[in-house]
């Protein structure tokens, strides 16, 4: 695959062969910046999904991958990571054109993280501690055999980074995988699969099928009894459907879903840190990040001054062609999503909110063909408003004031979501107190979006189910087995 303007044909990878849809249908993938046709993509059917599961099942039951030592698998995964590094520019260009993510973010953050995901889990398998429990003439220990076939369903907002967040641990622990990337961003999934095969990954260990979540291809991936694990990142509504389908076969699911995370700024915060971090927390990634700090809670003693500075910085952000290195925000993913974001801004004003900056679709010459929406800051709402409670998944920040620590925590926890939180303060005691009481899977203090892959990642409430990362990925992608032996005297 190349990054030329000629549309490419995207097919399913099933075993070691590339297939069109079983009924011959396709769908288009277009550049959200200008509508350029990037690819015609195989539109998967139930037969395609079932065939991919068969290939993964065969590779697991009869192939070499699960029987390899962790060191042997790690050698191949590191070779794939090296190949990703070699193709970093190509993969970054594909990611940017397919999803509208800025080239700076693709090139310097997300594609490097793809390689890091692979290397981390390649190393982790051999370094993870194992348990042994001697008790007199009894010796008990724990084995971690691979679970089997993994269905991995990844989103469009960080396509390859989040796909490999699932693929890397699944493969490292000896499983085989069927990946269904989001239909909006299919390009890098297929190029990655090509690279992985070229680097030595055995046939059938990684399979890729394309299609829409509500259509036939997704059915087998969530309800086929030959699937042993399902790992999903996406909306809370889609996650519910997946959980319902998986329940029929008691298939374990790890689901990272939506977020409406609070970002709390106290009056003792270092504003030279809090303002730029808060800008990044909501407007980075075009605002299409489940971890975004989309509820900005500012202590009333500094609220007006903070809003003025925050809005001024937001208005300065460069919104434009994501292929330009100086662009901070690119386009939203598609027209339907743009309409959703704009609809919430209209709703906010109906609810009594005041738009401080932004608030209208960008339609000038540089933006005319794309799905562009500016950084938008809204004040005057309470935490009870729909705009402040529902996930917008766009560059829209609602600002709410508070007076006390307890009030801030009450507002932060007054949400059905519980994915993440941000806190800016120089009071270390306060930081620890609040982190302990915050109903969120991740709490960042005086920073944002920094990750150690050994930590658990996931959400509470409707933000998700389960945790992945480090030992938590091992527990999910393996089937822990207790062994007890009586020693002869």
Candidates 47, 27, 46, 30; CA nearest to 38 is: 30
- Rounded Cα distance between 328 and 314, Å, is 10
Candidates 486, 464, 454, 370; CA nearest to 120 is: 454
Residue whose tokens read 């297929």? 190
Q: Considering 95, 256, 351, 391, which one is annotated as catalytic?
A: 256
Residue 256 a catalytic site member: yes
- Rounded (5°) CA angle 65-67-73: 50
HSE (side-chain half, CA atoms, 13 Å) at 211:
28
- Rounded Cα distance between 128 and 474, Å, is 9
* Structure-token pair, residue 453: 């892959």
Residue 346 a catalytic site member: no
Q: Considering 110, 290, 391, 468, which one is annotated as catalytic?
A: 290
Give the chain as a 3 state SS string: CCCCCCCEEECEEECCEEECCCCCCEEEEECCCCCCEEEEEECCCHHHHHHHHHHHHHHHHHCCHHHCCHHHHHHHHHHHHHHHHHCHHHHHHHHHHHHCCCHHHHHHHHHHHHHHHHHHHHHHHHHCCCCEEEECCEEEEEECCECCEEEEECCCCCHHHHHHHHHHHHHHCCCEEEEECCCCCCHHHHHHHHHHHHCCCCCCCEEECCCCCCCCCHHHHHHCCCCCEEEEECCHHHHHHHHHHHHCCCCCEEEECCCCCEEEECCCCCHHHHHHHHHHHHHHHHHCCCCCCCEEEEECCCHHHHHHHHHHHHHHCCECCCCCCCCCECCCCCHHHHHHHHHHHHHHHHCCCEEEECCCCCCCCCCCCCCCCCCEEEECCCCCCHHHHCCCCCCEEEEEEECCHHHHHHHHHCCCEECEEEEECCCHHHHHHHHHHCCCCEEEECCCCCCCCCCCECCEECCEECCECHHHHHHHHECCEEEEEECCC
**Is residue 157 left, alpha or beta, with left meaning phi > 0 and alpha meaning psi from -120 to 50?**
alpha
Catalytic positions: 256, 290
């Amino acid at each position: 695959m190349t990054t030329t303007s000629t549309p490419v044909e995207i097919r399913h990878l099933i075993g070691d062969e590339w297939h069109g849809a079983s009924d011959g249908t396709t769908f288009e993938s277009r550049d959200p910046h200008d509508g350029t046709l990037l690819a015609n993509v195989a539109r998967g059917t139930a037969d395609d999904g079932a065939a991919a599961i068969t290939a993964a099942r065969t590779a697991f039951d009869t192939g070499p991958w699960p029987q390899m030592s962790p060191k042997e698998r790690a050698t191949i995964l590191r070779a794939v990571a090296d190949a990703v590094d070699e193709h970093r520019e190509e993969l970054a260009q594909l990611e940017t054109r397919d999803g509208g993510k800025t080239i700076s973010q693709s090139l310097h953050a997300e594609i490097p993280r793809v390689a890091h995901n692979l290397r981390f889990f390649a190393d982790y398998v051999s370094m993870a501690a194992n348990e042994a429990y001697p008790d007199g003439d009894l010796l008990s220990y724990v084995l971690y055999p691979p679970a089997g076939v993994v269905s991995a369903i990844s989103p469009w907002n960080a396509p390859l980074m989040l796909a490999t967040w699932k693929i890397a641990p699944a493969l490292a622990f000896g499983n085989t995988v069927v990946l269904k990337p989001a239909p909006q961003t299919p390009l890098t999934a297929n190029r990655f699969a090509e690279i992985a095969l070229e680097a030595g990954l055995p046939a059938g260990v990684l399979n890729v099928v394309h299609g829409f979540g509500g259509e036939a291809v997704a059915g087998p991936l969530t309800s086929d009894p030959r699937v042993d694990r399902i790992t999903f990142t996406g909306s809370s509504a889609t996650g519910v459907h997946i959980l319902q389908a998986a329940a029929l076969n008691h298939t374990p699911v790890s689901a990272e879903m939506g977020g409406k995370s609070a970002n709390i700024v106290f009056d003792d915060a270092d504003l030279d840190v809090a303002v730029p971090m808060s800008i990044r927390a909501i407007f980075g990634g075009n605002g299409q990040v489940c971890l975004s700090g989309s509820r900005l809670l500012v202590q009333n003693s500094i609220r007006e001054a903070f809003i003025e500075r925050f809005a001024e910085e937001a208005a300065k952000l460069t919104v434009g062609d994501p292929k330009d290195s100086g662009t901070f925000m690119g386009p939203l993913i598609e027209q339907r999503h743009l309409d959703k974001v704009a609809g919430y801004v209209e709703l906010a004003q109906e609810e009594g909110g005041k738009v401080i900056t932004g608030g209208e679709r960008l339609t000038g010459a540089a933006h005319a063909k794309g799905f562009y929406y500016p950084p938008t800051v809204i004040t005057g709402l309470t935490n009870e408003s729909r705009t402040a409670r529902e996930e917008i998944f766009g560059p829209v920040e609602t600002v709410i004031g508070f007076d006390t620590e307890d009030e801030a925590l009450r507002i932060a926890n007054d949400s059905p979501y519980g994915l993440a939180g941000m806190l800016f303060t120089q009071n270390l005691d306060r930081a620890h107190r609040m982190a302990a009481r915050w109903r969120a899977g991740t709490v960042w203090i005086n920073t944002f979006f920094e990750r150690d892959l050994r930590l658990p990642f996931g959400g509470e409430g409707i933000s998700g189910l389960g945790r992945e990362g480090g030992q938590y990925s091992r527990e999910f992608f393996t089937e822990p087995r207790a062994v007890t032996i009586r020693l002869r005297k």
